Amino acid sequence: MKIHKTSIIDKDTIIGENVEIGPFCIIEKDVKIGNNTKILPYVHILSNTTIGKNNTIHQGSVLGGNPQDLKFKNEYSELIIGDNNTIRENCTLNRGTEASGKTIIGSNCLFMAYVHVAHDCIVEDKVILANGVQLGGHSEVHYHATVGGMSPVHQFCKVGQHSFIGGGRVALQDVPPFILANGEPLKYSGINSVGLRRRNFDIEKRNLIKRAYKLIYLSKYNRSQAIEEIKNSLKMIDEIKIIINFVENSDRGLI
């Protein structure tokens, strides 16, 4: 363990093995920091924050701050961060509210500079949030999704797994899995072919995904009719089931 003498750390903080804490950090009570995590200068970690192992947290980030929600009345809530994440400069990750009690960050994520994750969000594994991405409260970003720089995601919106949102866009509704989302207003711009190939989705899976979205976005069917046609006409591989489940459980509607 290597802690700079200028940092202020509560005596009850639980710190794992081989943790490095740089100059001028403040770590409050009821914080847990996992093995091999590196905390660079001027990081502030507030109470009720749990950080897993092998994370790197860069200068000026604030983790576990109070929710920016007028309904928050200082109830107990948490920020939970997994393993192997890189959190770049000046990111702000807030705790949850009584609605869910926690904000959850998965593992193997990259948050570039100035990312904000609001209260009660869920960010799953291998997510990339580019510079200046802002997640509204209760929003979800699913496995291996990418959100381009300076793109806000409206509160309660969901970003589906393996999807890609272009930079400088605004997500006001749910972004389905496996697609590219671009344009103003944000719209379906084809499937995320490059990302899917890089992640070893074979040609059959990619073609089935493409056929499903043709029925949803490019056919004469309305949304519910498209889903029925998908169920009746396409092979029920896991990816098609994921699309159906996402669409059927969309609260804000699809882009």
Active-site amino acid positions: 119-120, 137
Burial of 146 (0-12, 13-18, 19+ CB in 10 A): buried
Task: Please give the single-letter amino acid code of residue 145.
Answer: A
Beta-carbon contacts of residue 124 (< 8 Å; ≥ 6 apart): 106, 140, 141, 142, 143, 144, 145, 161
For the stretch 125-128, contacts whose Cβ atoms lie closer than 8 Å and that sit 24 or more positions apart, written own/partner, are: 125/82
- Type of residue numbered 119: H
Provide the token pair at 118: 């609001």
| Whole-angstrom distance, CA of residue 230 vs CA of residue 85 | 37
Q: How far is CA 196 from CA 47, 98, 202, in A?
A: 39, 37, 8
For residue 111, what are the contacts with CB-CB under 8 A and spacing of at least 6? 85, 86, 87, 88, 91, 93, 117, 129, 133
Nearby residues of 30 by Cβ (< 8 Å), 6 or more positions away: 10, 12, 47, 48, 49
